[in-house]
Amino acid sequence: MSIYSGFARAYDFLMKDVDYDKWVQIIETYFKKYNYNGKVIFELACGTGNITERLFKKGYNIIGTDISEEMLMIAQEKSYENHHMINFINQDMRDINYRKKVDAILSICDGINYITSSDDLKSVINGAHRILNENGLFIFDISSEFKLKNILSNNTFAEVFDDASYIWENFFDEETNILEFDLTIFLKSDDKINDEDFLYEKYTENHIQKAHSIKEIKTVLNDKFEILDIVDGDTGYKLMNDSQRILFVCKKI
């Protein structure tokens, strides 16, 4: 059995169709637009390091943080395999703590959606503000209200592949704007029943996300950050009513 369990082990499989290169391209577009020439990037909720690795390859000095030790173990393993010296830190984004100032902070792919209370969201914003240098950039995205309410909503998704399968059940509460989803994942193991048939390991995960409104995000940023751009997070272009991802580009004030 793998030393990684549950969501951490399945994460890259579930995210296999994500265009990380496109996301990095969008990030760099806004770095260039706002003349970012800093030295240190601090990434929140870096997961298994897919954005982290790509930015490091492009020459950025980036630090990856995540609340999940297992996610970070996988990220660190990737870093070693690629002969990259990336510093990964086990840290809750609600309690950002770093001994030095940084020049940019990133949170890409739903990290902020996992922050479900207003007080915790304020803690994230205050922590980012505290460790950023003056005029530092804070770039983050959220899955939009449209996506959580209309695409995921109370729907169930399932797929079967040769090496894995999953069932993804969603439950959306209209009163609280909270999406709760249960993932049941089956991953092919190294153990065999016979010469041709393998055993599969079953993992179950429960996740809770908040459908934050743009107004709510703006209110929390308020006197800490100037919002430079709000765009479609999947394209980097104009935000549409049916955009599924929203990217905020902000500057510390």
**Helix, strand, coil tally for the chain in percent (to 5):** 30, 35, 30
The number of distinct structural domains making up the chain is: 2
pLDDT value at residue 139: 99
The CATH number of whichever domain residue 71 belongs to comes to: 3.40.50.150
Longest dimension (CA), the chain: 64
pLDDT of residue 6: 66
- Shared domain check, 83 and 28: yes
Phi, then psi, of 240 in degrees rounded to 5: -115, 165
DSSP state of 47: T
Are 74 and 164 part of one and the same domain? no
This prediction has a pTM of: 0.93
Domain enclosing residue 76, as ranges = 6-143+211-252
- Do 229 and 139 belong to one domain? yes
> Which residue, 146, 144, 149, 151, is CA-closest to 172?
149
- CATH at 182: 2.20.25.110
Give pLDDT tens digits along the chain (253 positions). 344 456 787 888 889 899 999 999 999 999 999 999 999 999 999 999 999 999 999 999 999 999 999 999 999 999 999 999 999 999 999 999 999 999 999 999 999 999 999 999 999 999 999 999 999 999 999 999 999 999 999 999 999 988 889 999 999 999 999 999 999 999 888 877 777 788 888 988 899 999 999 999 999 999 999 999 999 999 999 999 999 999 999 999 9
Instruction: Output the pLDDT for position 3.
Output: 42
Report the amino acid identity of residue 38: G
Per-residue model confidence (pLDDT) at position 123 = 98
Same domain, 79 and 157: no
Cβ atoms of residues 115 and 125 within 8 Å: no
What does the pLDDT read at residue 244?
98
